[in-house]
């Protein structure tokens, strides 16, 4: 299976890219967000690839980053969502907003995406809500307080270790409240947050 392509970008549109790898042009379906990340035509492009095989077709779906590819593959596990609808979903909303909407059970945001009705939105939330914990989302006003790049890195590390996001956020806040200077170094803040969790 093809998992990654690197080559000269022959052409691009908001839904398709053609990448020349050693004389072979690969036709890749892409999302609007991946389109905006691609370089100018003629430059070298890199895409993470999901190869979708059917009886009558082999289709390539390309992504600018592994987070978008992971979301695409998670969407495919849901009944009623095929690769074309999954790429449409990722074109209609940013990865971070999609993760936030799924985690928050925000059906209203999901149903604004073309092709996603109320029942599909409910299935997406029900089936994926607890399967996206390993995807770190940059903290914004809506997702909680922001403690700079060091705080974000520590939050990501704690979530990757298996701590629930709210618990990790609270531990970081507690550590910074006790000793404001700890937020300057990753290791210091990480140790302080771990101590706060215990």
Task: Give dist(CA 191, CA 144) in Å, integer.
Answer: 21
Instruction: Please state whether the predicted TM-score (pTM) of the whole model is above 0.85.
Output: no
In a domain, 175, yes or no: yes
CATH number of the domain residue 183 falls in: 1.10.8
User: What per-residue confidence (pLDDT) applies to 15?
Assistant: 93
- If phi > 0 it is left, if psi is from -120 to 50 it is alpha, else beta; for residue 138 that is beta
pLDDT tens sequence across 72-88: 999 999 988 999 999 99
pLDDT in tens, 96-105: 889 888 988 8
Query: Residue 172 class from Cβ within 10 Å (0-12 exposed, 13-18 middle, 19+ buried)?
Result: buried
Cβ burial 178-187 (10 Å sphere, 16+ → b, else e): eeeebbeeee
Instruction: Identify the pLDDT of residue 34.
Output: 93
Is residue 86, in this structure, part of any structural domain at all?
A: yes
The reply to whether 139 falls in a domain is: no
Q: Are strands 24-30 and 57-63 parallel, antiparallel or unpaired?
A: parallel
Is 140 within a domain? no
123 and 72 part of one domain: yes
Residue 47's pLDDT is what?
96
- Single out the residue of 110, 106, 71, 105 nearest to residue 87, CA to CA: 71
CA 28 – CA 6 distance, rounded (Å) = 12
User: How many domains, the chain?
Assistant: 3
Residues 49 and 96 in one domain: no
Query: What range does the domain containing 47 cover?
Result: 4-63
> For the chain, which residues score pLDDT lower than 70?
133-147
- CA angle centred on 54, ends 126 and 9, rounded to 5°: 90
The confidence score (pLDDT) of residue 136 equals 53
């Amino acid at each position: 299976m093809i998992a990654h392509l690197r080559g000269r970008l022959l052409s691009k549109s908001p839904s398709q890219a053609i990448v020349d790898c050693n004389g072979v042009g690969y036709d890749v379906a892409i999302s609007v967000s991946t389109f905006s990340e691609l370089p100018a035509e003629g430059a070298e492009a890199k895409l993470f690839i999901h190869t979708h095989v059917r009886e009558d077709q082999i289709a390539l779906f390309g992504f600018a980053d592994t987070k978008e590819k992971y979301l695409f593959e998670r969407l495919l596990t849901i009944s009623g969502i095929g690769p074309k609808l999954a790429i449409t979903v990722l074109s209609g909303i940013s990865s971070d907003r999609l993760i936030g909407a799924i985690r928050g059970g925000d059906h209203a945001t999901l149903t604004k995406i073309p092709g996603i009705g109320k029942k599909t939105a409910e299935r997406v939330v029900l089936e994926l809500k607890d399967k996206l914990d390993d995807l770190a989302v940059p903290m914004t006003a809506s997702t909680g307080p922001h403690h700079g790049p060091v705080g974000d890195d520590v939050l990501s590390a704690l979530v990757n270790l298996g701590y629930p996001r709210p618990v990790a956020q609270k531990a970081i806040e507690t550590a910074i409240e006790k000793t404001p200077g700890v937020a300057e170094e990753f290791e210091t803040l990480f140790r302080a947050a771990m101590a706060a969790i215990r």
